[in-house]
Structure 1
Amino acid sequence: MIRIGVDFGGTKIEAAALDARGHFQARVRAASPGSYEASLEVVRDLVAEAEQQAKVTGASIGIGIPGSPSPATGLIRNANTTHLNDKPLQADLERVLGRRVRLANDANCFALSEATDGAGADSDAVFGVIVGTGCGAGVTVSRRVLAGRNAIAGEWGHTPLPWPTAGELPGPGCFCGRRNCLEQWISGPGFAADHGTGEDALAIAVAAAAGNARAQASLGRYRDRLARGLAAVSDILDPDVIVLGGGMSNVEAIYDGLTEAIGAYAFSDVYTTPVRKAVHGDSSGVRGAAWLWPLEPPP
């Protein structure tokens, strides 16, 4: 049984064919063309190439996207790849590909990948967090995506920073039209903006590891804000494991004492939830998209 996953990103589109054990049988990618109709054609061509390499036809297709389809209209909303917004993406992809597809938010795909055979494979309830250029999350229970009634489960990056200090208010503005969104604090650009030197997140992390006091202080504030955000999630969901992905997840120092920092804010006398780095890294999006289909062939 071969599944094909497509990771529909803003700068690249990737398709991969996975066998039943989760091993890659094909993996192809192309630059995102930046327009809607051209993107549909790129997906069609990448799927054809992946099937050719994997020597299969009619494979199931799952697609991870920024944003999500509205349950009311089926049109895409909240995508930072803005040419997808207000488009009937699922219907158009099914027309172009000539078969049914399953569509999910890219953070949900990340969480599903890590829950299936990654850092959360030993757990039932997994909260998968992407902290990179933006900030998103997905929830899986028993290796199934929990999308929610309104298909917004995991839209954690656009909740406010919990327990803000006076110096953090009113908070930076966000593209969503609100202020003080978590994304503006714990994404890579948010971390860099808080540091305030014009350096990017990686450079600041390297400086902190080398002993730079200002960079270490910025990293300490980042860890505290991340802990506050995850404590709020823990008070509601209480997941078995939290898995981090995205560029900031590669900063090893943020894991030091993070569980204890979350516990200091969580409404509990005990907090033992592990926070783990994603096993599959940048591959989790395309892998999770493939896992949107079960083992049995699609109807």
Structure 2
Amino acid sequence: MIQIGIDFGGTKIEAAALDPSGAFLSRLRTPNPGGYEQAIRAVRDLIQGVEQESGRKGTVGIGAPGSPSPRDGMMRNANATFLNGRPFQSDLEAALGRPIRLANDANCMALSEAFDGAAGGARSAFGVIVGTGVGGGLVVDGRIVEGANGMGGELGHVPLPWMTQDEFPGPACWCGKRGCLDVLVSGTGVRLDHERRTGVAMDPPLIVEAARAGEPDAVSTLDAYISRLGRALAMIANIVDPDVFVLGGGMSNVDEIYDLLPPVIAQYAFGGLWQGRVVKARWGDSSGVRGAARLWS
């Protein structure tokens, strides 16, 4: 049987069907309609579409923002806010007439990369999405570690560790707290930090380009970003000590960070003994949908 994954993003929803070797049989996308009932129908139609294209039915896994409560199944903490407080998984199962599996999108990215991606062969992998926001997921021995409350790996909403006096208390986060990694080490955080420093609004790719050209303000912004992301990963190293960190999302495409992050992690990790790896996701933007499909593996 084929494996079907759904990557439920803020602007688009993607479905993909994988054969047993992991090759794509079919891929379809549709804009996120921005409403709950419409989203249920959109996911149903995408699954029917990839099954029709591939000529086979399959298992279905969903990678979604936020996560379902292990107590009542209601969605929580999704930035697609119309999902919050709704039984997304059970409503999809009713619409499809079959069981599905659902996990946080960052968990799906980590699972994909641990299964046959950049973390293949590692016993433990921590995936970090550094895009519009920040997400995290931990995979050990090929299984997602969700935790007793389904919050395992929720990296975006812990405060930046080892804050300097200039950084404290940090900018306000949409979750209601201040100094969260979601608003400091995301692509959005880079843009806002540069604007706070300079008064100039620039998107992250332009900031990176300017830093490569030696523009002092852009260099300062990128240096601050490397320090903050490195401190965040050092905190995870102190708690989990994964074999490998895998980075996805827009900021993972800044190739310089893979040489610059390890010394920062080693500086802040307890005892200065850290010798792990930081790698770029092999499957890039496809990691989420592939990991969702792998929820049945």
Same fold (TM over 0.5): yes
- In structure 1, distance between residues paired with 2:25 and 2:113: 19
SS in 2 for 1:121: coil
Which residue identity does 1:167 align to in structure 2?
A: D
User: Which residue is 2:190 aligned to?
Assistant: 191
**TM-score relative to the length of structure 2:** 0.97
SS in 2 for 1:17: strand
1:241 aligns with 2:244: yes
- In structure 2, distance between residues paired with 1:194 and 1:45: 41
Alignment of 1:1-299 (within 5 A): 1-57=1-57, 59-196=58-195, 197-294=200-297
User: Which residue is 1:297 aligned to?
Assistant: none
List per-residue Cα deviations over 1:208-240 (Å, max 9, x = no partner).
112212111110110000011000000000000
User: CA offset at residue 129 of structure 1?
Assistant: 0.3
User: CA offset at residue 192 of structure 1?
Assistant: 1.0
- In structure 2, distance between residues paired with 1:18 and 1:132: 25
Which residue identity does 2:250 align to in structure 1?
A: G
- In structure 1, distance between residues paired with 2:218 and 2:136: 26
User: CA offset at residue 37 of structure 1?
Assistant: 0.3
Which residue identity does 1:232 align to in structure 2?
A: M
- In structure 2, distance between residues paired with 1:192 and 1:33: 27
Long gaps (5+) in structure 2: none
- In structure 2, distance between residues paired with 1:39 and 1:189: 26
In the TM superposition, structure 1's runs of 4+ consecutive aligned residues that sit over 6 Å from their partners are none
Long gaps (5+) in structure 1: 295-299
The answer on whether the counterparts of 2:8 and 2:62 sit within 8 Å (CA) in structure 1 is: yes
SS in 1 for 2:266: helix
User: CA offset at residue 87 of structure 1?
Assistant: 0.4
The answer on whether the counterparts of 2:226 and 2:260 sit within 8 Å (CA) in structure 1 is: no
**TM-score relative to the length of structure 1:** 0.97
List per-residue Cα deviations over 1:157-210 (Å, max 9, x = no partner).
100000101101111010101111011110001011111120011110111112
- In structure 2, distance between residues paired with 1:170 and 1:269: 26
The answer on whether the counterparts of 1:246 and 1:281 sit within 8 Å (CA) in structure 2 is: yes
- In structure 2, distance between residues paired with 1:165 and 1:247: 26
**Fraction of identical pairs, as percent:** 55
- In structure 2, distance between residues paired with 1:163 and 1:269: 15
SS in 2 for 1:283: helix
The answer on whether the counterparts of 1:65 and 1:104 sit within 8 Å (CA) in structure 2 is: yes
Which residue identity does 1:33 align to in structure 2?
A: P
- In structure 1, distance between residues paired with 2:204 and 2:260: 20
- In structure 2, distance between residues paired with 1:287 and 1:275: 21
The answer on whether the counterparts of 1:219 and 1:254 sit within 8 Å (CA) in structure 2 is: no
Which residue identity does 1:44 align to in structure 2?
A: R
SS in 1 for 2:85: coil
| Higher mean C-alpha displacement, 130-139 vs 188-197 | 188-197
Aligned-residue Cα RMSD (Å) equals 0.8
User: CA offset at residue 71 of structure 1?
Assistant: 1.4
SS in 1 for 2:265: helix
